[in-house]
Amino acid sequence: MSPEPTPYIVRLNAHTFPMIAEERHVLAALSHRLVEVEGATDDEALAVCRDADAVMIISAYLRASVIRQLTRCRIISRIGTGVDKIAVDEATRKGIIVNNLPDVFTEEVADHTLALLLAAARQIKFFDLTMRQGHRPDDFAGLHRLCAQTAGIIGFGRIGRAVARRCQGFGLRVLACDPCLTPELATRENVTPADLATVLAESDYVCLLCPLLPTTRSMLAMPQFKQMKPTAALVNTGRGELVNEDDLAEALRTGIIRHAALDVFGMVNVFDAEGFPTDHPLFKLDNVLLSPHVAAGSHEGTVDSRCRGAQAVVDVLTGKWPEHPVDPDVKPWFSLAG
């Protein structure tokens, strides 16, 4: 009779996002061995995850072809919010719990979204460039009081609501577009419910904050950009794949819309340790402000997410439900209390 395999936990993205002491401290409650790898390819991920009891993941993919071959896994702990890189349906089918942290970076992403919106409103990039050239523009026709403008928020979850409250602090009128938005929530948050067409037509700043789903992938392309005001700005801190980036570049180049401020991208992997190409047309446009997927970044957010992601693993491997199972109806293949 072969001996029982030594229990172990896999921590993916160990090179791009190395483990921190607080994360290790939480996992020290278990006797499991810890395996730290990047998991940049399906083959690499499968090689280490196949017999793992738990997998912790930040930005790597766990596709169905990998999850299907996991033999002992009880939990996939997403150290973050979005689960579009994890084949949740396949995990659910196998009775593996997928846990995420839907509230962990709300404040950071909301702050960064507003920072990008304000930079677009006050044309910070343009004025920085002119200052460095020794000039001061004397035409402010493109600048407007925020209290005279409208922000449209597409996706009204935790982050969308936090962005709305920040926008209201600057006097912006706020439109909110979300299929789950109820009249009661709209009243409580002091926003005006609107469909996508209305948000595009009336907003001076369109903020993308919805999850990446089959129904939202490439939801903004040239037909949608043509519905926007030519003076409008797009702010995307949701997912890069929500936008057709080739169409966006063309819309910006030809003046269909005025500006874009982007923190997320589909055309490059900003987490690549070797760097990423910058030859996409968006990189060549002066009316685009770019930040490399750092909206969630903060010291506090890092410590909080790592500790809570590790705690979810400890909970499941000691027989308890984690805090935020993505599919609460999952039927684990193993026993849990409660």
Domain ranges in the chain? 8-104+299-317, 106-290
* 134 has pLDDT over 70: yes
Q: Are 34 and 60 in contact (CB under 8 A)?
A: no
- Angle (CA) 105 108 109, round 5°: 80
| Alpha carbon distances (Å) from 83 to 20, 63, 253, 305 | 22, 11, 33, 15
List of long-range contacts for 73-77, beta carbons under 8 Å, 24+ apart: 73/49, 74/316, 74/317, 74/332, 74/333, 74/334, 75/99, 75/312, 75/313, 75/316, 75/317, 75/322, 77/309, 77/310, 77/312, 77/313, 77/322
* 337 has pLDDT over 90: no
- Cα(138)–Cα(224) distance, integer angstroms: 33
CA 35, distance to chain mean position in Å, is 26
| Same CATH fold assignment for domains 8-104+299-317 and 106-290 | yes
Average pLDDT, the chain: 96
> 106-121 and 124-132 are packed helices; what angle lies between their axes, rounded to 10 degrees?
60
Tell me phi and psi for residue 283, to 5 degrees: -70, -15
Which amino acid, one-letter code, is at 185?
L
Give the pLDDT score at 143.
93
**Residue 3 binned pLDDT confidence (cut-offs 50, 70, 90):** low
The β-bridge partners of 206 are 152, 234
* Model pLDDT for residues 204-222, shown as the tens digit of each residue: 999 999 999 999 999 999 9
Give the pLDDT score at 142.
85
CB atoms near residue 172 (< 10 Å): 24
- Cα(170)–Cα(22) distance, integer angstroms: 37
* Model pLDDT for residues 158-196, shown as the tens digit of each residue: 999 999 999 999 999 999 999 999 999 999 999 999 999
List of long-range contacts for 124-133, beta carbons under 8 Å, 24+ apart: 124/289, 125/286, 125/289, 126/286, 129/286
> Would the CA dihedral through 188, 189, 194, 198 be positive or negative?
positive
Task: Quote the tokens at residue 248.
Answer: 């966006």
Catalytically annotated residues: 239, 274, 293
List the CATH code of the domain at 106-290. Answer: 3.40.50.720
Statement: the pTM of the whole predicted model exceeds 0.85: yes
The CATH number for 8-104+299-317, chosen from 3.40.50.1100, 3.20.20.140, 3.40.50.720, 3.40.50.300, is 3.40.50.720
The β-bridge partners of 261 are 235, 289
* 38 has pLDDT over 60: yes
Give the pLDDT score at 139.
83
Tell me phi and psi for residue 197, to 5 degrees: -60, -40
The β-bridge partners of 220 are 243
Pick from 334, 324, 335, 337: which is nearest to 98 by CA?
324
Pick from 18, 64, 16, 71: which is nearest to 49 by CA?
71
